[in-house]
Structure 1
Amino acid sequence: MQPAPKYLENRARTAIGRAEPSRPLKCILADGLLTPGIRLFDYGCGRGDDLRHLSMLGFEASGWDPVHRPDHEHRSAPVVTIGYVVNVIENPAERQEALRRAWALAEQVLVVSARLTLEAKALRERTDYEDGCLTSRGTFQKFFEQQELRQWIDRTLEANAVPAAPGVFYVFRDEQARTHFLASRYRRRLAAPRLTKSAELFARHEAVLAPLMEFVGERGRLPQDDELANTAELAQVFGSIRKAFRVVLYATDEADWEAVREERGRDLSIYLALSRFEGRPPFGKLPLALQRDVKAFFGNYKQACTEADTLLYSLGQPGTVEEACQNSAVGKLTPTALYIHESALPILSPVLRLYEGCARGYLGRVDGANIIKMHRGEPKISYLNYPDFDNDPHPPLAESLTVHLQTFRVKTRSFGASSNRPILHRKELFISADHPLHAKFSRLTRIEESKGLFDDTSRIGLEEGWNETLAQKGVYLKGHRLLSARG
């Protein structure tokens, strides 16, 4: 094997070893793009850490790198990644060519990732070079703004990239696959209504009815004949899908199914509202299942888009977000913002889901963020990382990322080096009432209130003030139990 050219050696020095999957790989797995039987090819795989992670998980993956794996062949695959490659190429034309070569290998989706300008401040020394900079190690880095990276991908590939996370984008080969992914991003997970009555016919054929109930729970409407694998069996037993569902309605609460239908209609409205920023696809370009959803919930596409636009434009009306924050059934309301845990996002009002969706549509998923801050005074959304939210009674803030929805300026802040970090109180307010930890969190809050720990709210928001308050009251925390320090 010939030694790598000097410029490739410099680029190779940017490859870092990872003990955990990279951010783009985490996105791929979380979004279900990689399932058993689907192959992945990593274009510019560096030392191959992601490939090893995938191998341990049982996925088929291979990769090529000009320095670390130059003899491995380029292979087409349903999922192709080009992770943190384009930002180390100093020649703009070569940068574009690398992206096009990776795209040529992608059968279904290309995952592109690059470093963002908000990461540049971590560099101690840098010198401007070409359209990027040289680091103290002599390596080149091109830092992108989120929108700049997206536009560069779109221009280079003549496609429409989808934000997956800050600095990570998906480019789908098929437009309907892209639309399906975007629509599913805003579809909440709803459980099918439970049985409320004893119904002999339902009990005898529960296994046959299960796929029908699952479908209606997922999409909020009755399926067409070609959307269920056991349509023929349902027709043989009950006469038709509609008659089969009547049996389901008799054994369950019809109002619960109507609630599912309404929620799915709202999910679709939110998707259509946000799709206006992307360039809303014509009705005929929607996946067939989505076309059927539109007809079932709205009658026609024009009506669906009209209702979606009305919802979207309401965000710009004075007081709309403020009123939605004040009336929210979940979340901790402060004078400046509404805070919610990520698990409560699906149960927010359509206005607040759309408000947060504007930020998510720009950034994608923010890794590690579990608290969402919806600002009341100006159009901003912050994603906050409170590690160990479930187990730490008052978790400290580790990182924050804020995006302004008018300027789209992104700001980040790390609290890791601080000895006096912001902490959370009253954790039950951030989650839904049916969350499995709600009772546990509520019980601790009641005890802390009874001990006067919240009497001076100006002191307890930061670690030092909170620890001093605990000491003054003669108590300490062990998990979610408050104990006396005096024995």
Structure 2
Amino acid sequence: MTGPVPRHKTALSRTALSRPLTTALEDSLLDGDCTLFDYGCGRGTDIDHLVRMGISASGWDPAHRPDAPREPAGVVNLGYVLNVIENPDERVTTLRAAWELAEQLLVVSARMTWDAKGFRGRPSGDGFITGLGTFQKFFTQDELRTLVQETLGAPMLVAAPGIIYVFRDPMRAHGLLAERTRRRTLPPEPWICEQLYQEHRTVLAPLVDFLTRRGRLPKGDELRTGQILRHFGSLARAFGIVATTTGEQHWERARERATAELLIFLALARFEGRPRFTHLPRTIQNDVRELTRTYKQGCVRADRLLLASGKRDLVHLAISASAVGKQTPTALYVHSSALFHIPPVLRVLEGCARAFVGVVPGANVVKLHRDESRVSYFSYPEFGRVPHPTLATAVTVDLKSRTVDFRDHRQSDNPPILHRTEEFLSPDDERCAGLKATTEAEKAAGLYEHPERIGTLDGWRGEVARCGERLDADFFRRIAGGPGAV
């Protein structure tokens, strides 16, 4: 990683942990029980942050730590190193060298093409020479994914734009993908009159939680069942009490939901090569046996779902049938918290985009296009805190052309703005009532008489000013730009 280009000048002194390692922490891939090696660590600020967090970390850098040993670790980070290497063959060599040290996981990250917007440099090879004389290569999402896939040929998962996880154990890759498709739900409250349930509620709680998450009874060592068996004799009898108390229809829906989530996982797993049944985590193997009977049948159903997500008429039908989200003639907009409530076909469509671009940081509104194989991820930082949040950033994934577009509105004086934000949420979201009340008051004041004018912040403020005489002072301030408003 040495050469005529002064790569050492690209090293940054970070005041916070870098985005790739923050992402790995959030995905529970980094903790105090693992070791990390930072390959190309620069000034070592990531290492310092991790050590303060109680994580064993070390690193090597050709300029700043040339004498440090390059040693194996559970997790190896190759953070924004490929960008500064001007020789494509050396990028491959570096990628392989970092992978050889990774005992469990390699985290690869690189700067994206949208980072080059406003960048000034002299073209050189497939990148640019900066004003400091350093080299920068900006990757497309597909370019980075292909480089990692073709170089290493190992199980991988796109974590976020410009961040890729590469696993030694395929089960960890499939387990993380499956976890991303699983909805977090709460069990229903039992009827108070059911004395037996109430008396043993603490004993039954682990079983209720397992049934809620997986839609089936546990098998083998998936759950400690000693206390349950001592009190009820069998899991089937314990479940009978739970079902009678809380309602059998709820558990039928839980099973249907778990089956849909399993099929979504199997559909999305095809992107990196669907694993053999024996390579799946044991819990998912049990899901397959219980919910789809055989792996072959499950894969056939998953393939149908994947195929349906690419058919315009079926996507259009699924959008029209969605019980959540804001529908327009061209798309369905849904808050990220409500994604688990949209039809499975749309969840697979969104999952295909996420498999390509990863989890987009800060994105909290997803747009599913009706007539194009495109998914957009919008960031509205103030969503839910103010009636009309403004758009900060937008990432659009075009699945047909395999391209990613990034747009930044944070410096705009007149950014796009949202209205009727309760429509983006699921009906049971606690924010809905307050947001809906605001919308009704705005409608009564005439603020939606000209919808073509209110798509941007300036247009909205113009309509608020026009209708100002109909608004009381506090309401006017709250929706027109006073303290606590957009």
Q: Does 1:62 align with 2:61?
A: no
- What secondary structure is seen at the aligned counterpart in 2 of 1:226? coil
Q: Distance in 1 between matches of 2:52 and 2:476?
A: 34
Q: Quick one: which of 1, 11, 18 aligns to 1:15?
A: 11
Aligned match of 1:257: 251
* Partner amino acid, structure 2, of 1:44: G
2:195 to 200, 211, 216: 200
Counterpart selection for 1:110 from 95, 106, 109: 106
Residue type matched to 1:220 in 2? G
Structure 2 equivalent of residue 190 of structure 1 = 185
- Counterpart in the other structure of 1:88: 84
Q: For the Cα contact (< 8 Å) 1:150–1:161, is it kept in 2?
A: no
Q: Which moved more, 1:238-247 or 1:354-363?
A: 238-247
Aligned to 1:76: 72
* Counterpart for residue 404 of structure 2: 410
Deviation at residue 266 of structure 1 after TM alignment? 0.2
Q: How far 1:383 moved relative to its partner? A: 0.9
Residues of 2 paired with 1:17 and 1:112: CA distance? 19
Cα contact 2:121–2:128 (8 A) shared by 1:
no
1:287 equivalent among 281, 294, 300: 281
Q: Is the 8 A contact 1:342 1:370 kept in 2?
A: yes
SS in 2 for 1:181: helix
Cα deviation, residue 71, structure 1: 4.2
CA shift at 1:336, angstroms? Answer: 1.7
Counterpart-to-counterpart distance in 1, 2:481 and 2:353: 44
CA distance in 2: counterparts of 1:483 and 1:14, whole angstroms: 44
Number of the residue aligned with 1:324: 318
- 1:480 is displaced (CA, Å) by 8.7
**Given the alignment, which residue of 342, 350, 356 partners 1:356?**
350
Is this contact kept in 2: 1:196–1:253, CA < 8 A? no
* Secondary structure at the counterpart of residue 419 of structure 2: coil
Deviation at 1:341, TM superposition (A): 1.0
Matches within 5 A, 1:159-178: 159-178=154-173
In structure 1, the residue corresponding to 2:253 is in which secondary structure?
Answer: helix
Matches within 5 A, 1:146-157: 146-157=141-152
Shift of 1:24: 1.0
Residues 195-234 of structure 1: pairs in structure 2 closer than 5 A: 195-228=190-223, 230-234=224-228
Q: How far apart, in 1, do the equivalents of 2:59 and 2:297 lie?
A: 47
Give the deviation of 1:57 after TM superposition. Answer: 4.0
Equivalent AA in structure 1 for residue 220 of structure 2? D
Over 3 Å counting, the alpha-carbon distance change for 1:484 and 1:466 in structure 2 is: closer
Query: Structure 1 vs Structure 2: percent identity of aligned residues?
Result: 48
Q: Is the 8 A contact 2:141 2:403 kept in 1?
A: no
Residues 381 and 484 of structure 1: CA distance in aligned 2, closer, same or farther (over 3 Å): closer
SS at match of 2:221: helix
Write the letter of the residue equivalent to 1:383. Answer: Y
Cα deviation, 1:42-65, whole Å, max 9, x if unaligned, reads 222223333344345443433332
1:122 matched to which residue of 2? 118
State the match for 2:441 in structure 1: 447
Q: Which moved more, 1:455-464 or 1:272-281?
A: 272-281
Q: Which moved more, 1:189-198 or 1:252-261?
A: 189-198
Q: Which residue in 1 is equivalent to 2:266?
A: 272
Root-mean-square deviation (Å): 2.3
Contact 1:369 1:384 (C-alpha < 8 Å) held by counterparts: yes
> How many Å separate the matches in 2 of 1:5 and 1:93?
13
Give the aligned residue type for 1:349.
P
Using structure 1 for the length normalisation, give the TM-score: 0.92
CA distance in 1, matches of 2:334, 2:293: 34
AA at the equivalent of 2:217 = L
Query: Which TM-score applies when normalising by structure 2?
Result: 0.92
Question: Deviations along 1:91-123, whole A, 9 cap, x unmatched?
Answer: 333322322222222221111001122322331
Deviation string 1:144-201 (CA, Å, 9 cap, x unpaired) is: 2222212211222231321111111000111111111122221111212321243333
Specify every segment of 5 or more residues in structure 1 that has no aligned partner in the other structure, as ranges. none
